[in-house]
A = this chain, B = another copy of it.
Amino acid sequence: MIQHHPDIEPVKTRLHVDEPLGEGATVGLDHERAHYLRHVLRLDKGNRVALFNGRDGEWSARIDGFGKGWCSLAVESRRRPQAPEPDVWLLFAPIKRARIDFVAEKAAELGASAVWPVITRHTDVARVNTDRLRANAIEAAEQCERLTVPEIREPVRLDQAMAGWDPARPLLLCAEAGPVRPVEAALAGLPPGPAAILTGPEGGFAKDELDGLINLPFVVPVGLGPRILRADTAALAALACWQAHCGDWSAGGADVRPPFRSQESG
C-alpha cells in the first residue's frame, strides 16, 4: 500500500504518463496499465488515481471508461505543483540483471535525476536493457511519490562520458581504492549545485582507468569505508550520503518530510 501526504485526499494508485496534464485533459492508458487498474487493483469507472508526467505536477484523474485493452482518464484537479528537485546523476558500470534492476529502483527512490550506464574496461555485461531500467525507475517513482522519473541514458564508454563532461558538475568517484577522502568530508567540500556519482564494475576499475579519472579536474574520489562494497551498494550508499548532506534530505533542502503520516491517518 502506498502512503500519501496528509493534506491530500488519498488515492489508490499513482501513475506516470507522458501526456500533458491539465484541467479537462484526457489521458489514455495502454493495454497493460488498463488491465492492471481493472483486474489487479479492481478499480472501476468513477474511481480516482493520481497522475504525474515530470512537468505539470501531480493531478487527480477519474476513470472515465474501460474498454478492451484501454482505459480513459479524465484529468480533474491538481494535487501538487511541480517543484525543483536535486540534480544528482548516477553513472554506473552495468552489473548483472537482478542487481541492475535494483540500482534503477533505488536510484529513483533516492532521487537521482539521471541514471547513466557507462562501460568501463572491466565491465563484463555486454548489453544493457534501458527499457527495463526505465520501467523499474518509473515503478519506483510512482511508489515513492516523486514528481519526476530519472532520465535513463543510453550506455556509452566511460571515456566518452568523461570527454563531454561539464566541469561545473563534480563527479564523486566511488573508487574501490585510491587516494580518497571520506565521503562526508568530500561532500562538505562540494559547491552547491549539480553533482554526479560514479561506481565501477564488480571487478573494479583498471589501474590506468582509475589514474586517468583521478586526474580529471571535476573528479572527487570518495571513500566509503574499509569494507569492499558491491557496486550496487556503493551506488546507493553514495546517493544517500549526497542527499543527506547536499540534497533534499538536508536541513537546507527545498523540501523536508511533511508532518505525521501513518497508516491509520491516511
Binding site for B on A (CB under 8 A): 1-3, 6, 102, 106, 109-111, 122, 143-146, 176-185, 202-207, 210, 223-230, 233, 236-238, 240-241, 243-245, 247-251, 253, 255-265
Contacts and interface: CB of A to CB of B under 8 A. Distances in A.
B227 A177 contact: no
Contacts of A178: 257, 259-262
A223 B261 contact: no
Nearest to A257: B223
Contacts of A248: 225-226
Contacts of A255: 225-226
Given A240-B241, A250-B184, A262-B177, A256 B205 contact: no
A88 B62 CA distance: 47
Given A110-B233, A226-B256, A233-B110, A250 B146 contact: no
Contacts of A183: 244, 249
A3 B225 contact: no
Given A185-B251, A204-B3, A262 B224 contact: no
Contacts of A3: 176-177, 204, 228
B249 A182 contact: yes
Contacts of A144: 227-230
A113 to B, nearest CB: 13
Contact of A207 (B109, B243, B262): B262
Contacts of A241: 240-241, 244
The 5 closest A-B pairs by CB, nearest first: A177-B261, A237-B240, A225-B249, A223-B257, A207-B264
Contacts of A179: 259-260
A259 B122 contact: no
B182 A253 contact: yes
A228 B8 CA distance: 15
A1 B177 contact: no
Nearest to A234: B109
Nearest to A264: B207
Nearest to A202: B1
Contact of A263 (B206, B225, B227, B262): B206
